[in-house]
């Protein structure tokens, strides 16, 4: 088994990809999570796994969606099944919207809030419990200045990121 194992959600691009690559460069085996996009011929999670493996690292892809309550347990099971342990969880999956509050509808607001806030909770409920039970581990939650100060055109995103700050403080 590797010395350390991490789950990184939203690891197909941007910050999540950077986290996965950096952890791998430090010898950490990585569960690379990113939902599939209909227009991708190759899933972004697969591209990142291929990149990690090409550099000599260990990684496995997962395509669970952040808003699916089953994804957190699925990721924990994959980490334990593939690598035998879990040490780090980086909750990075998220989406933003581009609409002022006056132009949003309930469905779009709820979807953004669900992916960003509840999606992180869905990931952390089983994985935090596991880390807590083994009395060791690290959790990192990606948030934003929008959660502290709000941002025009990102009301649901701002609300979700503020909620994540509260969640982190409570953990």
pLDDT digits over 102-157, tens only? 999 999 999 999 999 999 999 999 999 999 999 999 999 999 999 999 999 999 99
Q: Is 122 a catalytic residue?
A: no
Give the helix/strand (H/E) hosting 137.
none
Flag whether pLDDT at 1 surpasses 80: no
pLDDT digits over 25-50, tens only? 999 999 999 998 777 667 999 999 99
CA–chain centroid gap for 100, Å, is 25
pLDDT digits over 54-68, tens only? 999 999 999 999 999
The Cα–Cα gap between 16 and 8 comes to 6
Per-residue model confidence (pLDDT) at position 37: 76
Longest dimension (CA), the chain: 52
Per the DSSP assignment, residues forming a β-bridge with 7 are: 31, 89
| pTM metric for this prediction | 0.95
Query: What is the mean pLDDT of the segment spanning 84-103?
Result: 95
- Residue 47 tokens read as 């591209």
């Amino acid at each position: 088994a590797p010395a350390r194992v991490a789950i990184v959600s939203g690891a197909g691009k941007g910050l999540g990809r950077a986290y996965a690559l950096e952890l791998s460069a430090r010898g950490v085996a990585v569960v690379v999570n990113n939902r599939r996009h209909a227009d991708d011929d190759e899933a972004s999670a697969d591209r990142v796994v291929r990149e990690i493996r090409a550099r000599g690292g260990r990684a496995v892809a997962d395509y669970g969606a952040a808003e699916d309550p089953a994804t957190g347990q699925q990721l924990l099971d994959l980490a334990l099944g593939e690598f035998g342990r879990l040490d780090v969880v980086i909750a990075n999956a998220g989406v933003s919207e581009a609409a002022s509050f006056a132009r949003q509808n309930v469905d779009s607001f709820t979807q953004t809030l669900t992916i960003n806030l509840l999606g992180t909770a869905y990931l952390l409920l089983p994985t935090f419990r596991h880390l807590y039970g083994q009395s060791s581990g690290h959790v990192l939650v990606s948030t934003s200045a929008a959660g502290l100060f709000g941002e025009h055109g990102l009301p649901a995103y701002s609300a979700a990121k503020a909620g994540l700050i509260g969640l982190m403080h409570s953990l």
